[in-house]
Amino acid sequence: MKQFGYTILEDRSIDIDRNDQRIREFLSLNDPSINACIGCGSCTATCTAGHFVDFNIRRVHTFLRRGEAHLLKEEIQKCMFCGKCQLICPRGVNMRNLIISINSAIERMG
């Protein structure tokens, strides 16, 4: 068969219908503060790790809330658990607890 070099690109949109919301649901059951984010970026601004490596705690958190769970596991390894994000959060999101819980959530969900 003649190859024209066409490929089918993977859809890069966030598909809320298909995404796995279980981690978010599990985490928000344990700690509803995760839903209080207004995306101000204070956490990322103060994050020591994020100034040196490609790690954006606000985006990780937003991905989580959109059910983009496949991105989480690797990303959160970059966190140093210093807790500054939590100290600065104007909405009281329990970020440190959240990162720790993501690990156990991923283990539970497989």
32 near another protein (CB under 8 A) = no
Q: Helix, strand or coil for residue 2? A: coil
- Which one of residues 23, 24, 37, 44 is an interface residue with another protein (CB under 8 A)? 44
Cβ-based neighbour number of residue 66 at 10 Å? 15
45 near another protein (CB under 8 A) = yes
Residue type, 106: I
Contact present, 46 and 88 (Cβ < 8 Å)? yes
- Closer of 40 and 109 to another protein (Cβ): 40
The number of residues that bind another protein (CB under 8 A) is 20
Q: Footprint of another protein on this chain (CB under 8 A)?
A: 38-47, 50-51, 56, 58-59, 88-92
